Amino acid sequence: MRFAWLALLVFLATPALADTVFAPGGEGHVREVSDGATITLTDDRVIHLVGIDVPTRAVAARKAKDALNALVADQTLTLTFAGTPQDRYSRVAAQVFVGTTWVQGELLRQGVVRVRSVPDNRAGIEDMLKLERLARRYRRGLWADPAYAIVDAAAAERAAGTFALVTGTVTTVETRSSGTYIDFGATPRAGFALSMTPAVVKLCKAAGLDPTSLAGKPLLIRGFIDGHLHPTMTITHPEQIEILKTSKKKARSLRPGPDQ
């Protein structure tokens, strides 16, 4: 009953989570912060902050760790679950709160991490994407670093072997028995492409996103780019794909925005 009340309190007190309630997962006291997404508790549990990607470059990685440490050092955490409560490394996969502060949300707001969703922990991802979008808009944190700029689909090969955000307009969509392939190049299966199994296509359609109708649409996609033959990103869940709005207005440069 106590943890159900905590979940309700988080829901009511956190504006960024207006549409999301996570499952309660207990509490724990912080012993150590290992990196920008890993916390060890005094009871030896290792917590992985699910849903975020910590930058790998030294300076950006240190900033992410420092930001997390500033939020949680020597604090008692409320652990909540967005899906599967344990990852493949036996860490607790949690959405974490200090009081009413959503830790992942605050790191995204500061721009020190990116959203990296996984198919078995999807609750709250839309809220996380909104916070990341705002940080990108005002070039906070790593969004002011060219190393983490959104990659054009035509240049996706340069980001092969990494997690990246890629933008481009779909040229063709091909559906086979083995799956659906979404191409961004002039020649199918030659340039950057997305691939998804029939089960993922069904999952996307259930979420209101029809992959077979994306031809001609500008997208922002996130995931790991496999460059073995040509740059390809495997789609496992709908939150990896955002359909961008088109505008005839001239883009304007933005100064760092309000800290909120």
**Is the pLDDT at 5 greater than 90, yes or no?**
no
Range of the domain at 99: 2-143
Query: What is the pLDDT at residue 10?
Result: 44
CATH number at residue 203: 2.40.50.140
Are 84 and 190 in the same domain?
no
Contact 50, 89 (CB under 8 A): no
**Is the pLDDT at 161 greater than 50, yes or no?**
yes
Across the chain, how many H-helices and E-strands are there? 5, 16
Are 126 and 21 in the same domain?
yes
Domain count, the chain: 2
CATH number at residue 85: 2.40.50.90
Residue-wise DSSP of 29-43: EEEEEEETTEEEETT
Last residue of a domain, one of 123, 143, 163: 143
Average pLDDT value for residue range 183-200: 90
Are 207 and 127 in the same domain?
no
Radius of gyration of the chain (CA): 19
DSSP 247: -
Last residue of a domain, one of 91, 115, 143: 143
Tell the residue number behind the tokens 């909120």, with chain if given.
260
Distance CA 170, CA 153 (A): 10
**Is the pLDDT at 247 greater than 70, yes or no?**
no
Contact 165, 221 (CB under 8 A): yes
Q: Where are the alpha helices (DSSP H) in the chain?
A: 2-13, 58-72, 103-110, 125-137, 198-206
Query: What is the pLDDT at residue 19?
Result: 65
Helix or strand (DSSP H, E) at 223: strand 218-226
Are 154 and 131 in the same domain?
no
Are 166 and 229 in the same domain?
yes
Are 48 and 125 in the same domain?
yes
Are 86 and 134 in the same domain?
yes
Are 104 and 164 in the same domain?
no
Query: What is the pLDDT at residue 119?
Result: 96
Residue range 105-116, pLDDT digits in tens:
999 999 999 999
pTM (two decimals) = 0.87
**Is the pLDDT at 260 greater than 60, yes or no?**
no
Last residue of a domain, one of 143, 173, 194: 143
Are 10 and 70 in the same domain?
yes
Are 198 and 76 in the same domain?
no
Are 18 and 122 in the same domain?
yes
Residue range 11-63, pLDDT digits in tens:
434 546 656 789 999 999 999 999 999 999 999 999 999 999 999 999 999 99
